[in-house]
Structure 1
């Protein structure tokens, strides 16, 4: 018989907003065991002091924390360890959120009934000596690598003479790994750690400007590529990006400006 202060599974379900089916599943998984189980009927009974634990589980599952991770969080006696497990999952969610935002932004631009006309400039740039950091990088590691490389450049380049930029080898996009070079223009490029002088070759570039965050920069790449093909040009080297305004300059994403420059050569008369 149900004792004082003990709740039948249906009552506990209503109090915690966890379905009876979910409570049974949590019991079978050893995640939230009832206070007592009737030996004859098999009915499950819960105590009132299990309500906070059930609510914690409910919140964690709303955040898509896997059941094994929920168990580790609940069973960890160290509050800092529990907080660390939750923080790790939240970081994973933030990465997934960034991916979702990127996909949504790109899809919205792609589905516009009349895309805005792309402004493209053909620009001849001379050979330039810069302070650079370069390496072969996997595509999914580019952002982390870029942050570290640019931090090194900022630390040793005292008097930059222009906006920072990067060169991205075609293999990075085609094969998922390629050569990446980031740089800061300066009159006297230093040698320090990974930073060293590099002379960027002269090139003719088809240049356009991507406005805002990089979530949908792939769409701008595609639009520029269509323009290049439509004007009988061919890509002739690594893509160049110049970070005219970015998060290092302002916290307003609407003000960010990234120039994309494709080295090109003409393959036939226009």
Structure 2
């Protein structure tokens, strides 16, 4: 190297220090192609960096401060400013959604491990009268891992049929006719209510859901995830037991909100059980 080159370049130690990186991190980012040196001395193997790249080094350090994976860091570095900002915003929105979900899971585990202690404080249980409904129906056996795909798909199929009979008349709901967990597979039934007065010519599977009284609690989108959703079921069951209320039908999930547009903390679903008057 010439004297001029040495004046314009920084050693790895100085570059790491001024770039807010540890030497170990700088070596890692070199291997990953995120921050390769500008010059490697062929005689000594020493690596040198231009001072102008300190801004990139500091950006990487701050992105890693968000626990951003290296692959995502590489995506951000490859994008122009506005697009990079959008990618960071999208990444952080996903982190916040995951945090809300993890918080709900932690609460579920705390309740389960404490023998349901405090569950009555987590969920408000209410009662309501539900009128008789004519429902389009689709049923199958399913494990927990099947539900995230099957329930929306079945609901969409039934809503498409409902469109030919005046549209969806009330909130769709999912009935669990048997336990659904790692060892049991239901069966599970998706129901979409329609107006009986518009049912002429209906050939798709349908039935009448009897009028009933039900006990229910409302949960957020994050709480719908399995297994934390089980705490809501436990809460309603615990309330029924304490109140001496008889259960008269299987548990169900009533989806009253637009799932796609809902944020993790938005209320979207009622966990309900038909009960005696």
TM-score (structure 1 length as normaliser): 0.65
Secondary structure of the corresponding residue to residue 196 of structure 1: coil
Secondary structure of the corresponding residue to residue 16 of structure 2: helix
Alignment of 1:143-222 (within 5 A): 143-157=148-162, 158-173=166-181, 175=183, 177-186=185-194, 187=196, 188-189=198-199, 196-199=204-207, 202=210, 207-210=215-218, 212-215=220-223, 217-222=229-234
The 1:171/1:217 distance shift into structure 2, 3 A limit, reads closer
Q: Which residue of 2 aligns with 1:115?
A: 121
Structure number with higher strand proportion: 1
User: Tell me, which stretches of 5 or more residues in structure 1 are unaligned?
Assistant: 266-270
The 1:117/1:248 distance shift into structure 2, 3 A limit, reads closer
Assess if the C-alpha contact under 8 Å between 1:132 and 1:198 holds in 2: yes
Q: Which residue of 1 aligns with 2:257?
A: 246
CA distance in 2, matches of 1:37, 1:59: 26
Q: Which residue of 2 aligns with 1:13?
A: 16
How many residue pairs align between the two structures? 254
Q: Which residue of 2 aligns with 1:260?
A: 271
Q: Which residue of 2 aligns with 1:32?
A: 35
The 1:16/1:138 distance shift into structure 2, 3 A limit, reads farther
Assess if the C-alpha contact under 8 Å between 1:246 and 1:253 holds in 2: no
Alignment of 1:48-197 (within 5 A): 48-51=51-54, 53-55=56-58, 57-58=60-61, 61-67=64-70, 69=71, 73=75, 90=91, 93=95, 96-103=98-105, 106=108, 115=121, 118-119=124-125, 121=127, 128-157=133-162, 158-173=166-181, 175=183, 177-186=185-194, 187=196, 188-189=198-199, 196-197=204-205
13-22 vs 26-35, which moves further: 26-35
Compute the displacement of 1:6 (Å). Answer: 0.7
Compute the displacement of 1:130 (Å). Answer: 0.8
Q: Which residue of 2 aligns with 1:268?
A: none
TM-score (structure 2 length as normaliser): 0.64
Assess if the C-alpha contact under 8 Å between 1:57 and 1:70 holds in 2: no
CA distance in 2, matches of 1:180, 1:146: 9
The C-alpha deviation readout for 1:118-166, integer Å capped at 9, x for no partner, is 545497976x531123344442342343333333333332244433211
Compute the displacement of 1:167 (Å). Answer: 1.0
CA distance in 1, matches of 2:97, 2:221: 15
Give the RMSD, CA atoms, in angstroms: 4.8
Compute the displacement of 1:113 (Å). Answer: 9.7
User: Tell me, which stretches of 5 or more residues in structure 2 are unaligned?
Assistant: none
The 1:65/1:238 distance shift into structure 2, 3 A limit, reads same
Compute the displacement of 1:23 (Å). Answer: 0.7
Secondary structure of the corresponding residue to residue 170 of structure 2: coil
